């Protein structure tokens, strides 16, 4: 039996040399170690070995098994390495990596995110509303009379159903107050608004607004001024000059437009309009009150301020962009400057 084991070992050592594939290696394994393999068959003969020889033959048996298992492991590793080498043949790992272009936010998104972050710090939460609206949320509840020019078909996109594309994000003021559970209400509503307009460098049919609304028991004009001054100083720097110019909006009283002083190199400084704002008109609270079953927005108990910013305008000022259309043309030469 010892001879038989020795010849199995030397056969295996010779045979392994010509094994050059995974399938022939598997055949090799089955030939020696398989259920009906040579070594297995020989091992079965241990039963008949005389007691005094068992130790020696057992040792030899183990030695041969270990040798063959070792041969298989080594060959497996060699075959794997050959496979890997083939896969990377022709690739030079010392070459520098190809650079991946890195994405960045659109300049409008960047400005919108900054605006939202800044107001978030003051406790304003984000509110949303649909872009396809009804006349109630866009005009009636906002104290805008039937004959107001903004309601004109020339200025607003109407659907046959009577619905419309919201002309401002002030619609979200109404929706928020209609659904509010408690006071205070302190929200910002970023989103798109739409107006029929001739498209040129400063006019577009769709633009990005950010609405703000704060309603509580006692809100003053000082709160409005403080909030917006903080906001514009955060965005454009502490030295930015602002002016609150009396204006008219149907849904605020008093109302203001906010102008910012712009210093352009080579030109004399000028004021440019960047936002509308005011104290919520009691007529708006009256409209909300009429829709609700409680007195949460009873006009003689609450007060508030609202504002609306044009995000496009803010981004144009910040980067000195002369033409609104650049934002929507998707020209990478333009966009890459903000990456």
Contacts to ligand PHE by CB under 6 A: 168, 170, 211, 249, 252, 276-278, 306-308
Q: 3-class SS at 81?
A: helix
Nearer to ligand PHE, 34 or 184 (CB): 184
Q: Which residue is nearest to ligand PHE (CB)?
A: 308
In angstroms, what is the minimal distance from the CB of 336 to ligand PHE? 31
Cα–Cα distance measured from residue 302 to residue 279, given in angstroms and rounded to the nearest whole number: 11
In angstroms, what is the minimal distance from the CB of 278 to ligand PHE? 5
Strand-pair partners of 307: 212, 277
In angstroms, what is the minimal distance from the CB of 167 to ligand PHE? 7
Cα–Cα distance measured from residue 190 to residue 212, given in angstroms and rounded to the nearest whole number: 9
Cα–Cα distance measured from residue 54 to residue 124, given in angstroms and rounded to the nearest whole number: 87
Nearer to ligand PHE, 141 or 277 (CB): 277
Cα–Cα distance measured from residue 246 to residue 229, given in angstroms and rounded to the nearest whole number: 16
In angstroms, what is the minimal distance from the CB of 317 to ligand PHE? 17
Nearer to ligand PHE, 16 or 164 (CB): 164
Q: Calculate Rg over the CA atoms of the chain.
A: 40
In angstroms, what is the minimal distance from the CB of 144 to ligand PHE? 10
Nearer to ligand PHE, 25 or 277 (CB): 277
Cα–Cα distance measured from residue 88 to residue 247, given in angstroms and rounded to the nearest whole number: 71
Q: Are strands 125-126 and 185-194 parallel, antiparallel or unpaired?
A: parallel
240 in Cβ contact with 261 (< 8 Å): yes
Q: What angle do CA 132, 138, 139 make, to 5 degrees?
A: 150
Nearer to ligand PHE, 9 or 171 (CB): 171
In angstroms, what is the minimal distance from the CB of 332 to ligand PHE? 31
Nearer to ligand PHE, 11 or 131 (CB): 131
């Amino acid at each position: 039996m010892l001879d038989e084991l020795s010849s199995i070992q030397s056969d295996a050592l010779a045979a392994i040399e010509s094994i050059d594939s995974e399938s022939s290696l598997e055949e090799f394994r089955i030939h020696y170690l398989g259920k009906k393999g040579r070594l297995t068959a020989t091992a079965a003969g241990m039963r008949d070995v005389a007691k005094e020889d068992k130790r020696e033959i057992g040792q030899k048996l183990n030695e041969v098994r270990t040798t063959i298992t070792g041969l298989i492991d080594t060959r497996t590793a060699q075959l794997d390495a050959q496979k890997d080498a083939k896969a990377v043949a022709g690739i030079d790992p010392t070459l520098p990596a190809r650079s991946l272009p890195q994405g960045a936010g659109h300049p409008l998104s960047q400005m919108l995110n900054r605006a939202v972050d800044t107001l978030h710090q003051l406790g304003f939460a984000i509110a949303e509303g649909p872009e396809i609206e009804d006349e109630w949320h866009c005009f009636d509840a906002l104290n805008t009379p039937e004959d107001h020019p903004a309601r004109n078909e020339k200025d607003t996109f109407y659907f046959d159903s009577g619905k419309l594309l919201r002309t401002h994000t002030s619609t979200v003021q109404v929706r928020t107050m209609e659904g509010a559970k408690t006071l205070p209400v302190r929200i910002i509503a970023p989103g798109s608004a739409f107006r029929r307009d001739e498209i040129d460098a400063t006019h577009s049919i769709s633009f990005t607004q950010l609405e703000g609304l704060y309603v509580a028991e006692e809100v003053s004009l000082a709160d409005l001024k403080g909030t917006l001054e903080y906001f514009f100083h955060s965005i454009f720097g502490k030295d930015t000059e602002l002016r609150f110019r009396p204006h008219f909006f149907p849904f605020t009283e008093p109302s203001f437009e906010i102008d910012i002083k712009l210093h352009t190199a080579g030109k004399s400084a000028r004021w440019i309009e960047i936002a509308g704002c005011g104290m919520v008109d009691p007529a708006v609270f009256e409209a909300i009150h009429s829709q609700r079953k409680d007195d949460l927005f009873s006009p003689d108990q609450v007060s508030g301020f609202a504002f609306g910013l044009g995000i496009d305008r803010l981004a144009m000022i910040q980067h000195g962009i002369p033409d609104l259309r650049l934002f929507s043309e998707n020209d990478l030469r333009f966009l890459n400057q903000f990456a």
